[in-house]
Structure 1
Amino acid sequence: MDTVLLEYADPYFFDSFYGKILSSQLLSNSTLGPKLLETVGTWTPDNTYRQFLSIFILVTLGGWFFYLATACFSYYFIYDHDMMKHPKFLKNQVRLELECALSSIPGFSVLTVPWFLGEVKGYSLLYADSPKTMYDWVYLIASLPVFLFFTDMGIYWIHRFLHHPLFYKPLHKLHHKWIVPTPFASHAFHPLDGYLQSVPYHLYAYLIPMYKWSYLGMFVFVNIWTVLIHDGEFFLHSDFINSTAHHTVHHLYFNYNYGQYFTFWDKLGGSHRRPTSEQYDKTLSKDVKVWAQQSKEADSIEGEDSVKAKKYFN
């Protein structure tokens, strides 16, 4: 991904950033300033330290931008605000989700930099040549569902293992604090949790050739999809797509629907729970009796620490 971004960011931003901003009067007058300036002055665009820092800045700023832009749009124009009356909706939850996500994104970023740095150094199988022949176009188009299938498989198993007692409390439980999530919960993870679930995306680029612009586009799509499955609006009634309704079931009842895009792996792994009229019927989805029953079941699961191993691997 950052092979594309650095190609444009270096001449239009980072050359100036390292040449001027780091040589500011404040830095020059500091104790470490002259030594740091001397070091940074040797950083050419292909310097590994410069690339590492540049990628970290790009991923962090990009992560904040895409998260806030997509989540804000979804929250104000799609999200059903009546769900904030649900008894499992926390006090000041939107603020808590925002604080968690914004503070975690730099952690996601620094952990993922080595993958992106490898791409920039040419170790991945991303390719830059535009499609020219019919075969090139067929391969490019076919690579998109293959990417989704591969990453969905990886995320399913990583997500499922994150619900195991060994990993749930220290890593994944934070995300399940949001039993009735808003779009701002989409990136409200423990940094290591968020990183682990991103590994299949990075691994794909090192295993299967993919056009670099397609790869970048899929990363944008991934971030949008992650927000949309937390928006509480159930436009899609599908037994094949792991839709918002399926992911709502996951947050309410914990032990089901670990997939990201499809229900295939949940069905194969025995963890699929089909959404019902609780989600699809607008009257029932806001019924206080339904909410009370959902809260009772969620409390029961929480009372068992949410993670009895026999529920996941029987």
Structure 2
Amino acid sequence: MDVVLELTDTFVTDYLYALALPANPVGLDIPNLANSSERVSSSWKFKTANPYFSFEPSKYAYMSVWDRDNIYRQTITLFLLTWIFGFILYFVFATLSYVFVFDKKTTKHPKYLKNQMWLEIKQANRALPGMSALTTPFWVLEVRGWTKLYDTPAAGPGPTYEILQYPFFILFTDALIYLVHRGLHHPLIYKHLHKPHHKWIMPTPYASHAFHPVDGFLQSFPYHLFPMLFPLNKFASVGLFIFVNFWTIMIHDGEYVAESAVINGAACHTMHHLYFNYNYGQYTTFWDRLGRSYRKPDPDLFLKEKKMSEAQWKLQVKEMEKMVEEVEGEDDRAYEAPVSKKNN
């Protein structure tokens, strides 16, 4: 994240902090700073975080009382970066998934909510600032050197680890997310934190980030814990963070292509939204199998002609209503389509 922060400082925030919190210039009037080639006095010295290429900072990097190493400045910038780019990533790729992947017949499902897509977007936008605020301290720890992130393969444990770090990261985070997710279903926690995400019985890609902010952060915590415990290439860290967000969107897209006993794809995750107490894993079914919470998706979900059939929907509704009564008690959702009666 330090490379991202450096680029942001170079092209955006150096100017903003120089304007908002100017330092006392040496022999210059504040209004003339923009027209001067001189620097103000500053003890900060530029040292690039990018071992491959860098941009020499402009004079504005030296013109704020908060230099680039200031922890308050780093915290504010990283919070805004996480919020803004989190929103852009969510909205752009969830929209692409909705337009090109998501099966629109899902909106006719008896358990699709009234105005659901807009409710999902609203919930996500309410959650993103809170999730960003909870995530920011971990970015600050990273950029200030309190993790095991490293710059280049030469600085890491070795060439073999450069490859193994990816499956290791997936296995580690998959295990912890399983534990966190299953814990969020505990009766004392579920209604306070996790129920907002289970409002979506038949989710669209926009449900991918429609969490309670604390819920969303807790399920992302393993990603930030990993580099605190294990070495990780910092460029791999950024790539994996983007991949995690893509994956979260993909398992909510309703396109059931991963008919696999290993991969926890959209079909497995649909089972979780429909029936609550199954398939807590993020990437694989391993931990669900070990914890006896795995539920194999109905084979009909992988057949286009049966996936959205009325018979399939009736089976889903019948069992789902029993699970809602068991987990939540009264169902307080407002559905778009007429709801099947429990005695059907």
Normalising by structure 1, report the TM-score: 0.89
Shift of 1:70: 1.0
Number of the residue aligned with 1:137:
159
What residue in structure 2 maps to residue 216 of structure 1?
238
Q: Distance in 1 between matches of 2:242 and 2:157?
A: 25
Change beyond 3 A, Cα 1:278–1:120:
same
Equivalent of 2:173 in 151, 154, 158: 151
Question: Conserved in 2, the CA contact under 8 Å of 1:277 and 1:284?
Answer: no
Unaligned runs of 5+ in 1: 24-39, 308-314
Query: How many Å apart are 1:289 and its aligned residue?
Result: 2.1
Cα distance in 2 for partners of 1:282, 1:22 equals 59
1:93 aligns with 2:116: yes
Q: Deviations over 1:178-224 (max 9, x none)?
A: 00000000000000000000110000010000100001000000000
After TM superposition, the structure 1 = structure 2 runs for residues 177-192 of structure 1, keeping only pairs within 5 Å, are 177-192=199-214
1:1-314 mapped onto 2 (5 Å cutoff): 2-20=1-19, 41-128=64-151, 130-132=152-154, 136-306=158-328
Percent identical among aligned pairs is 48
Equivalent position SS for 2:282: coil
Partners of 2:129 and 2:301 lie apart in 1 by: 34
Deviation, structure 1 residue 292: 1.9
Larger proportion of helix: 1
Amino acid across the alignment from 1:8: L
Question: Any idea what SS the aligned residue of 2:168 has?
Answer: helix
Query: In the superposition, relative to structure 1, how do residues 294 and 204 fare at CA in structure 2: closer, same or farther (>3 Å)?
Result: same
Which segment drifts farther, 208-217 or 130-139? 130-139
Q: Per-residue CA shift, 1:31-72, capped at 9, x if unaligned?
A: xxxxxxxxx942111111101000001100110011011101
Distance 1:46 1:4, change over 3 A: same
In 1, Cα distance between equivalents of 2:299 and 2:262: 17
Does structure 2 conserve the Cα–Cα contact (< 8 Å) formed by 1:263 and 1:272?
Answer: yes
Give the distance between the partners of 1:288 and 1:278, measured in 2 at CA: 12
C-alpha deviation, 1:131, in angstroms? 2.0
User: Gaps (5+ residues) in structure 2?
Assistant: 23-62, 330-344
Q: Which amino acid aligns with 2:83?
A: T
Structure 1 residues 48, 252: CA separation in 2 closer, same or farther (over 3 Å shift)? same
Q: How does the TM-score come out when normalised to structure 2? A: 0.81
Kindly name which structure, 1 or 2, has the bigger radius of gyration based on alpha carbons: 2
SS in 1 for 2:176: helix
**In the aligned structure 1, how far is the partner of 2:168 from the partner of 2:328?**
33
The amino acid across from 1:234 in the alignment is Y
Q: Is the 2:157–2:231 Cα contact (8 Å) retained in structure 1? A: no
Structure 1 residues 55 and 133: alpha-carbon distance in aligned structure 2, compared to 1, 3 A threshold: closer
Counterpart for residue 29 of structure 2:
none
Contact kept in structure 1, 2:194 and 2:215, CA below 8 Å:
yes
Kept in 1: contact 2:21–2:66 (CA 8 A):
no
Aligned mates of 1:146, 1:210 — CA distance in 2: 10
Tell me whether 270-279 or 91-100 shows the greater mean CA deviation: 270-279
**2:264 partner amino acid:** N
Cα distance change on mapping 1:296 and 1:21 into 2, 3 Å: farther
1:238 aligned counterpart, secondary structure: coil
Output the aligned Cα RMSD: 1.7
Q: Which runs of 4+ in 1 moved over 4 A?
A: 132-135
Amino acid at match of 2:197: H
Measure how far apart 1:113 and its partner are: 0.8
Shift of 1:135: 7.1
The 1-side partners of 2:170 and 2:3 are apart by 21
